Amino acid sequence: MANAHSPADSAKYYVPHGSIWPIFGSVSLFILMIGASLTLEGGEGVPGTAVLFAGFALIAVLFFGWFGKVISENEAGLYNMDVDRSFRMGMMWFIFSEVMFFAAFFGALFYARNLSVPWLSGAGAKQMTHSLLWSHFDGGWPSNGPSRLGPHEDGSFETVPALGLPLVNTLLLLTSGVTITIAHHALRAGNRAILKIFLAATFLLGFLFVYLQATEYREAYTELGLQLKTGIYGSTFFMLTGFHGLHVTIGAIMLTVIWFRVLRGQQTAQNHFAFEAVAWYWHFVDVVWLGLFVFVYWL
Amino acid sequence: MAHVHTHDADHHDEKPAGIGRWLFATNHKDIGTMYLVFALIMFFIGGAMAMVIRAELWSPGLQYVDPAFFNSMTTTHALVMIFGAVMPAFVGLANWMIPLQIGAPDMALPRMNNYSFWIMPFAFTLLLSSFFTASGGPAGGWTMYPPLSLQAGNSFPTMIFAIHLMGASSIMGAINVIVTIMNMRAPGLTLLRLPLFCWTWLITAYLLIAVMPVLAGAVTMLLTDHYFGTSFFNPAGGGDPVMYQHIFWFFGHPEVYILILPAFGIVSEIIPTFSRKPLFGYDAMVYATASIAFLSFLVWAHHMFTTGMPLASELFFMLSTMLIAIPTGVKVFNWCATMWKGSLSFEPPMLFSLSFLFLFTIGGFSGLMLAIAPADFQYQDTYFVVAHFHYVLVSGAVFAIMAAVYYWLPKWTGHMYNMGLAKLHFWLSAIFVNVLFFPQHFLGLAGMPRRIPDYNVQFTDWNRVSSLGGFVFGLSQLLFVVLILQCVRGGAKATAKVWSDAEPVGLEWSVASPAPYHSFETPPLITDANTHHEHV
Ligand SMILES: [Cu+2]
């Protein structure tokens, strides 16, 4: 039976017959979005957040149900190599879409640093805005704009020094990229003990990263005067690092799930799409962080 | 393990019964049908909004609706037509035709296919529900430019979240198309033997995955600027409202090719069939499509010539935009060359394809006029722009969708449709689409601004002509529905080839009409004989 689960033993491309999960997922997303809308605009006495959290709960059920079904089909040997390749390609293009999502926010960062803040300071074609509205403004980077938006009365704020926690976090993520590669090699070599240890090390490093980032956020909010509302610097800082942190959290949760599957004897040397998909995702999160470390914290 | 396999292998043409067939669908044909029906419903909802707009513009002054409602009509008309009608119609066609054209058993990821469809009705319920909020529907234009869009009332989050859902649906649909075409082709079906509809959809899918996340990012920034105090588009905090336009149009220009490339593919299937000649310059068509897609990432700021960009940017975006005319011209010439000395016949799909060719080209030329930066200072935000993009989207994209429906409907239903009624629908559409939109060129050049419910009296005559054209065009679309319903219920039996005397080429014509519930369970072998073109 050891090889019965390898992807090669099914001749036909498996086409599932009906599934409740997609429609369940659509309804869950709908409830989630209604909850979010009501939270923002529902007004007094509307239980927006309750609907919102119901939506999140349903999404969690969705992932367990849908992926659980896929896992059981895979374990039953229904998927051949072609199905496996479809999953792989699908995951790659999903990661590409994520890259483009981050590209929008990096674009906003570069635009603000290189165009809008210099323009507001009187550079280039936009002099009139400067001389008529904010002639005193001489913005360098970091900037919270000519009106010095932010929590402090005088508009002052400090940035997070790159060589403190961000550097530690960089080392954590780079190390986790190494540990997951070791785990991958161990998986392919059939060395389950090494696999378990290094996979666990990877998600523990991930969760440690998230914890340190939370510490950094708390210091930024309470001591540095750096908040989401601290002008364009705060906006780009928190949106970029926040979405990244969200992705690290999701990635670490996925790694944890894979780890439990490995403990159950799933993810064999021949058949481990889930492991590889999460590994790709983890490397993607890693690369985004390097961009953040260089362009948000360091330069 | 053999007992596990038999479950699926034994259900050959057995359709699941009842509502579950649609709610839990994994069959590409069922999902394709749902997409197409959904698109048709949205086409009429968006069309009804257009009728309100044209009725209000029948006379100068305010007659039927208040200005805020008028603005929400123009805003949601665009969102409904783009994201609810044209894009889902193309995805529906892709679902139906791609597995049939490449000899695959189904789409590669059938459950995700269902997910991408069923998100859509909920997304539009969310969007349209905003009309019942205290502030009315979103009214800041479909482009949602800040700061205007940030002044929206409590319809704002539903609009933003609806767009997030549409984006998620589009991305999943696009991933499915790419994976299906790259992974599920029958043996022998090399990429340069692929039918052009598959090729153009493949490239469209790349565009979708590249730009829908950018739109999601842009509207997320709007949301956080509105509710969470960020300053992306607020100069006081160092941001810039024009930055929104850059991000939006980085999505928006590839989006217009998302709306037209599958149409190119459809027309490239139909014109050779009814010219009884292989497509002229197949390889050139593929490379032209790829070039258009590539260039579409380098032209976005031609929507922003009047925002006070640096001169160098104006020049760059003007020239890069004009460059797109070259690959597009290659396509138009290739379609003409395909017909040259062909043995032409004028069945409804061919009629719609030919009018696509003429009218899309008119829209292309007005696009070239708009690309000229100094001239655009005159055209910007006038009805000339409205005329331009309705020529490429209505007589372009929508006509191509209708051509596709007329081409493949017998394959779907197994029945021929009423040719006389189809031709009546064609002539009414083709004539009145021009009555509707051609005068808008004149109005725009004379300076009538878009998105305004009132206008100066000298614009009255052409507005009346345009409204009249709009009402007849809108009503004549009911014939389309009647024809489809008739064809679903019965009619002369369609053969496998459907257009037997035109000898259409392609795998979809090798299966019976209606196409069996499950497509190719064992892949056919592909040679030059059953592909669309001859290699020379
Ligand atoms: Cu454009």
Give the range of the structural domain holding residue B476, as residue numbers without chain letter: 29-530
- Structural domain harbouring A121: 82-298
CB contact under 8 A, B243 and A124: no
Tell me the average pLDDT across B176-181. Answer: 96
Same structural domain, A205 and A165? yes
Q: For B235-256, what is the mean pLDDT?
A: 96
Percent of chain A topping pLDDT 70: 96
Residues of A in contact with B5 (CB under 8 A): 10-12, 78
Task: Identify the pLDDT of residue B8.
Answer: 43
A106 and A238 in a single domain? The answer is: yes
- Looking at the fold, whether A54 and A183 belong to one and the same domain comes out as no
Mean pLDDT of A118-130: 85
Instruction: Give the separation between CA B257 and CA B396, rounded to whole angstroms.
Output: 11
Considering only CB atoms, A116 lies closest to which of B133, B239, B308, namely B239
pLDDT of amino acid B3? 38
The stretch B403-415 carries a mean pLDDT of: 96
Least confident of A138-152, B190-204, B220-234, B477-491: A138-152
Calculate what percentage of chain A has a pLDDT beyond 90.
Answer: 73
According to the model, what pLDDT value does residue B308 have?
87
Instruction: Find the range with the poorest average confidence among A243-252, B8-17, B59-68, B235-244.
Output: B8-17
CATH number for the domain harbouring residue B178: 1.20.210.10
Beta carbons of A79 and A264 less than 8 angstroms apart: no
Q: How confident is the model at residue A129 (pLDDT cuts 50, 70, 90)?
A: confident
Name residues 33-52 of chain A within 8 A of B (Cβ): 33-34, 36-37, 40-41, 43
How many whole angstroms separate alpha carbon A98 and alpha carbon A95? 5
What are the residues facing B493 on neighbouring strands? B415
B500 is catalytic: no
How many residues does the structure list for chain A?
A: 299
pLDDT of B323 reads: 95
Q: Find, in chain A, the residue whose alpha carbon is nearest to that of B184.
A: A82
The residue in chain B having the minimum alpha-carbon distance to the alpha carbon of residue A243 is B217
Residues of chain A positioned with their CB less than 8 A from the CB of B220: 239
Flag whether pLDDT at A261 surpasses 60. Answer: yes
CATH code, domain with A261: 1.20.120.80
For residue A78, the model assigns a pLDDT of 87
Tell me whether residue B431 is in a domain: yes
A101 touches chain B (CB under 8 A): yes
Asked if residue A57 has pLDDT above 90, the reply is yes
User: Mind listing the pLDDT tens digit for each residue in B25-77?
Assistant: 999 999 999 999 999 999 999 999 999 999 999 999 999 999 999 999 999 99
Statement to judge: residues A41 and A145 lie in one domain: no
Give residue A77's pLDDT.
Answer: 83
Residue A17, domain CATH: 1.10.287
A17 and A70 fall within a common domain: yes
- DSSP, res B382: B
Mutate to test the interface with A, among B4, B6, B240 (most CBs of A within 10 A): B240
| List B296, B328, B355, B467, catalytic entry | B328
Looking at the fold, whether A30 and A52 belong to one and the same domain comes out as: yes
Interface predicted TM-score (ipTM) of this complex, two decimals = 0.93
Report pLDDT for B233.
Answer: 96
* Mean pLDDT value of segment B142-167: 93
B116 has catalytic annotation: no
Same domain, A199 and A216: yes
Report d(CA A109, CA B274) in Å as an integer: 53
The answer to whether residue B450 sits within a structural domain is: yes
Q: Could you give the C-alpha distances from B497 to A28, B186, B354, B457, in angstroms and in order? A: 43, 20, 22, 55
State residue B485's pLDDT score: 96
> Residue A229 and residue B11: Cβ atoms within 8 Å?
no
Distance B388 CA to ligand 1 centre (A): 11
Q: Which DSSP category does B515 fall into? A: P
Q: If contacts are CB pairs under 8 Å, which of residues 153-182 in chain A contact chain B?
A: none
Tell me which DSSP letter residue A21 carries.
Answer: H
Are A124 and A207 found together in one domain? yes
CA of B265 to the centre of ligand 1 (A): 20
Q: What percent of chain B has pLDDT over 70?
A: 96
pLDDT number for residue B6: 37
Given this model, what pLDDT does residue B532 score? 56
Distance from C-alpha of B55 to C-alpha of B412, rounded to nearest angstrom: 37
Residue B54: active-site member: no
Q: What is the predicted pLDDT for the residue at A74?
A: 86
Angle at CA B261, nearest 5°, toward B260 and B262? 95
Q: What is the pLDDT of residue B531?
A: 66
Question: Known catalytic residue: B257?
Answer: yes
| B window 124-143, beta carbon within 8 A of A | 125-126, 133
B108 touches A at CB < 8 Å = yes
Domain boundary among A23, A47, A79: A79
B103 falls within a domain: yes
Q: How many domains does chain B have?
A: 1
Name the residue among A9, A25, A231 with its Cβ closest to that of B231: A231
Task: Report chain A residues whose CB lies below 8 A from the CB of B230.
Answer: 228-229, 234-235, 238-239
Is residue B214 situated within a structural domain? yes
Contacts of A33 in chain B (CB under 8 A): 122, 126, 158, 161-162, 164-165
CA of B144 to the centre of ligand 1 (A): 16
Please tell me if residue B106 touches chain A, with a CB cutoff of 8 Å: yes
Q: Are B180 and B108 in contact (CB under 8 A)?
A: yes
Q: What is the pLDDT of residues B460-503, one digit of tens each?
A: 999 999 999 999 999 999 999 999 999 999 999 999 999 988 98
pTM over 0.90: yes
A286 and A250 together in one domain? yes
pLDDT band at A155 (very low <50, low <70, confident <90, very high): confident
Residue of B nearest to A228 (CA): B230
Interface residue of A27, A116, A132 to substitute, partner B, most B CBs within 10 Å: A116
Per-residue pLDDT band for B9 (boundaries 50, 70, 90) equals very low
Domain count, chain A: 2
Domain boundary among A27, A58, A79: A79
Active-site annotation holds for B253:
yes
- Mean pLDDT over all residues of chain A? 91
In contact, A108 and B219? CB cutoff 8 Å: no
B106 is catalytic: yes
Inspect the interface and report whether the beta carbons of A105 and B217 lie closer than 8 Å.
yes
Contacts of B29 (CB under 8 A, 6+ apart): B95, B96, B412, B515, B517, B519
Residue B536 domain-assigned (yes or no)? no
- pLDDT tens for B453-468 read 999 999 999 999 999 9
Percent of chain B exceeding pLDDT 90 equals 86
CA distance A45 to chain B (A): 16
Closest Cα in chain B to A133: B236
The reply to whether residue A232 touches residue B110, judged by beta carbons under 8 angstroms, is no
A274 in the same domain as A216: yes
Same domain, A230 and A265: yes
Q: Are residues A141 and A31 in the same domain?
A: no
Q: Which residue has the tokens 């719609």?
A: B352
Decide: B488 and B55 in contact? Cβ < 8 Å: no
What pLDDT does A10 receive? 56
Calpha distance B334→B85 (Å, rounded):
28
Question: A207 pLDDT band (50/70/90 cuts)?
Answer: very high
Reported as a pLDDT band with limits 50, 70 and 90, residue A4 is very low
pLDDT tens, position by position, A38-56: 999 877 888 889 999 999 9
CB contact under 8 A, B214 and A126: no
**For position B5, what pLDDT does the model report?**
39
Cα separation, A138 vs B29, in Å, equals: 61
The reply to whether B369 falls in a domain is: yes
Chain A residues within an 8 Å CB radius of B4: 76-78
Q: Which of A79, A108, A128 is the last residue of a domain?
A: A79
Helix H segments across A112-191?
117-120, 127-133, 165-189
Check CB contact of B185 with chain A, cutoff 8 Å.
Answer: no
Determine, for residues B246 and A20 on separate chains, whether the beta-carbon distance falls below 8 Å.
no
